Amino acid sequence: MSTQPMRPGLRAALSLEYPMSLGVHDSYEDAQRAVDYLSDHEFPVQDVLIVGTDLKQLERVTGRLTRSRVIGAGALSGMWLGLFVGTIFALFDPSGFNILSVLGTVAFGAIFGAIWAMVGYRLTSGERDFTSVSQVVAAKYEVLCEHKHIARGRELLAEMDPMRAAQEEVRRAREAEQARAVGQPAVPGQQSTQQPVQYPAQQPSQFPHPGQQPPSQP
């Protein structure tokens, strides 16, 4: 599946120069509520970005797809199309509005829609005999803002929900501790700045080995 490249203007609108995290939320509604609170307190929300992470697709199966349902759905779609076309032609008919022509167009649309839907169903060879609705959702939603507004934003969110603000502080402290534990990877070609460990020279033993005569005293 191919993806369209993002336009430069849209890419600039969906990015921040130096983003910092204001908080991570489990649902989009919570992230939206936090941004709305910031907006109500005259925070520069034009420098705020909501990022959904860990994307996944949900598909809810709504029922079986039988031949009768395919024909019925196609006929209904064709009827609506026929009603629209028939009404347009009847309104501009020089002889006047003819309801029979509208009904005839509706009937023709229903037949055409049923046949068209049935042909499409036969072409699938029964590989997808069910109906469903799908949606792409994110597991987490992170609210980011420019670094120059991070202190004010965290202060406002702490006033909004002190418990969540404390949890965010704990999360950021854990992430910082993990980053320090892992450390930065070495740059290829860069010499290490660590000095070699120098061990003191081994002094000769003052005690003779077994079978060795002690040195004579002058």
Q: How far is 150 from 147, CA to CA, in rounded Å? A: 5
DSSP state, 47? G
- Least confident among 13-17, 32-36, 145-149, 171-175: 13-17
pLDDT in tens, 77-92: 999 999 999 898 888 8
What burial class does residue 116 get, using C-beta atoms within 10 Å of its C-beta: 0-12 exposed, 13-18 middle, 19+ buried? middle
- Please say if the pLDDT value at position 16 is more than 90: no
82-108: average pLDDT: 87
The dotted CATH code for 13-61+137-173 is 3.30.70
Domains of the chain, residue spans: 13-61+137-173, 66-128
More confident residue, 106 or 210: 106
3-state secondary structure of 70: helix
Residue 10: pLDDT band by 50, 70, 90 thresholds? low
Q: What is the pLDDT of residue 192?
A: 43
Q: Are 35 and 48 in contact (CB under 8 A)?
A: yes
Q: Is the pTM of this model over 0.75?
A: no
- CA-based nearest residue to 121, from 78, 69, 80: 69
Question: What is residue 114's predicted lDDT score, i.e. its pLDDT?
Answer: 92
Instruction: Determine the length of the chain.
Output: 218
Structure confidence by residue, pLDDT tens digits, 146-179? 999 989 988 898 888 888 778 778 887 888 888 8
Backbone angles phi, psi at 50, to 5 degrees: -105, 120
In this predicted structure, the answer to whether residue 217 has a pLDDT above a threshold of 80 is no
Instruction: Examine the pLDDT at 115 and tell me if it is beyond 90.
Output: yes
Q: Strand, coil or helix: what is 57? A: strand
Here the tokens at position 10 are 């849209």
Query: Does residue 93 have a pLDDT over 70?
Result: yes
Tokens of 9: 């203007």
Residue 56 scores a pLDDT above 60 = yes
Nearest Cα residue to 117 out of 133, 138, 131? 131
